[in-house]
Structure 1
Amino acid sequence: MLTRRIVALTLFGLLILPLCAPVAAEWEEDTWLTTIIGPERLGLGDEFGCHGMAGSETSVYELEISECRDYLTERINASKWGANPISLGLDSDRLNEIDSETIAAAGFAIVDQQIIPLNSEIKNLSYNGGSLEKDRQTIDHFQALIQDEEPLINFYWHARDHDVIVRPNSELVSSIESTTAWFTTWGEHASYQAMKSEFSLDNSSSDSWLVAFESDSQSSNDVFWDVPITNKFSNINADVVSVNYGDISLDELEIDSPHLQTGWRQENNSLILTLMPGQQVRINFDTSANNDSTQQTCERFNCHKVAITVAGIHTNDLFDWSRRWDDTPMRFTWLVEPREVSQYNWILPAFAVIVALSAPVAIIWLVKNDRRAQQAIAVLDTLDNLKFEEE
């Protein structure tokens, strides 16, 4: 009986061992990055960054971040302003595995976690706005940030919590969308801050100015993109007739224009002008302008009082993450993380072969031993009968 139990336990162990075998994780490519949705979101002004490689075979966080960067750059540009990704979402449980120098060496300049030691080249964005998920954040919290004149309000969006579909807070979203603000992305906002400077001004002509944005590329980190910058000219004492870039008229912006672009608008006695680096324009007035007007660089595009960003964290399915946001003025920083696909490694088929070979052998062995046991019992019974007859 003991032998049978040992054999039975051995067979049972062989059967369940493959279920406990190590699993080799792999990732599944998100084809929406390269087809339809990715290019559409890029054209709208969204940004693509990294959030890691969930199915990476490496356990070294530094290599995983570089692997995610390569995965992204092989499929889509990071922004309409630049191809290189500069925004990175970090795993809060693995901050001790990475430092700011490693992040900078990988080409990233913006993260969503505080990295120690601090590095002036790395910008940290906290999610001070909270989540767009229903029942997670209140309108009062958002309005308090607006009243406190918070210069940058950063939200996050996660379309799925494992297999559970996340629904947005419609009231909060409506409140955000109705706010007069600069709706931007992480990299766009950081590039603006890195590039901002005053324009050169030639006001020798009485009724026109020649204004140029002569950006000093050496003054800022090369990782950032060339983006338009807004400057404000106060006390011009004239009305602007037109702003021309060569033979092209620059667009006239509205006070609530929400998305970064070149253009101009007049606000009372001030001219608010947004130019790309290297761009030179001629401003025509209806009368002689004030040569003693003052120039000030605006902290945000179009001299908005607040900038709003939204990060799509752990974006492993761009269709799923973006499908609710077709008609919103908000601009998203999609932190891409390919979906993990679990696959059994070579141990599973190896054990399957062992089980397949062992099972019939064990059965034959048990049958033979059972026959021998029956024969032995028969012999013993015969001996007992003979002994009984002798008595």
Structure 2
Amino acid sequence: MTGTPAEAAIPEFPGVRAAGCPFDPPPALQALQEDGPLARVRLWDGSTPWFVTTYAEQRALLAHPDVSADVTRPGYPIPTPRTGGGSLSFILMDDPEHARLRRMVQGAFTVRRVETMRPAIQRIVDGLIDDLLAGPKPVDLVEAFALPVPSLVICELLGVPYADHDFFQDNSKTIIKRNVTPEERAAAGGRLFEYLDRLVGEKLAEPADDLLSKVAARVEAGELTRPEAAQMGVLLLIAGHETTANMIALGTLALLRHPGQLDLLRESDDPQVVAGAVEELLRYLNITHSGRRRVALADIEIGGQVIRAGEGLIMPNDIGNRDPGVFPDPDALDLRRDARRHVAFGFGVHQCLGQPLARVELQVVYGTLYRRIPTLALATEPDRIPFKHDGQVYGVYELPVTW
């Protein structure tokens, strides 16, 4: 069975969230899930890729050998206008090249390796909370805490000077905004590429004990070109701070808006409770709200439909994580829920490389911030908080808090 719905029935993607429901997917997209596992959505360029609404079908397609992550293939559902040029390294490639490049850095993100970083992450979090408590209030939690935590961590891991954080944060924000021009996005990407290329050159001349030096060593060994190394650095730097920073701030806001759930987390010193809370917040919220995008390489029959070769696919993890067949009462935030099966980090060979690091950072933050500042509260009305509806990464621009 195949076919395209009537033009008027195809909703726009990304959709618009309901007023007063900033944590929930757009209602029009949730309605598609009720109608079946696959539907069509309309993108900025008029194309109508398949929209996969259910958890099982998302996982099946993300792991399917005839589904491609290669952004250069015809039919790939590009999220914004492009000016050409490179992509964000291996995340938009297929195997074997994807696997070859990913293997070069994956050792730094294993669960065992990341666990050795936990004490250092704890020191960073405690130090920033000390600064919060010693400073004026109210304060913007995004600027004073949510952004610095992952930025300091990824800078230490990569070997990037944290003194340059304003530069790389500003350019990262431009790259992931939807409403900038292709030229502005390309210029920001170019600036970050030149910056990382210079750092790779410095690591080639004077290697240190950091990940960027290990990447540079691959260049010296002839396993990687210098542009590939610089582009890999751009990917790791952006991914290493943007998503986690937004998750810290948005998660904090969600907990402040659900005080009973915040009490459960704040009053427990059990690491398993904290770890479970992180998984539920990852399920309930959605930072990468443009969906995981792919293109079919061959005809695939799934969910009562035939996806034809060359047709685009969007797997929105916010809808997948709200699938009532997998997560009962999915629109409720329930920190007691076993949410470990969520697809916030994707699925298959392209699932997020940095998920062990993100988990440890969030466990340290959520397990420390609210216990050390038990009276943490919003310093503004909820409806005045500016959300990132215009970005490919969702979150809040500011989060004024006091205590």
Report the TM range for the smaller structure's normalisation: under 0.3
Tell me which of the two structures has the higher relative contact order, counting C-alpha pairs closer than 8 angstroms and 6 or more residues apart.
2
Which structure features the higher share of strand residues?
1
Who wins on radius of gyration, i.e. which is larger? 1
Which structure features the higher share of helix residues?
2
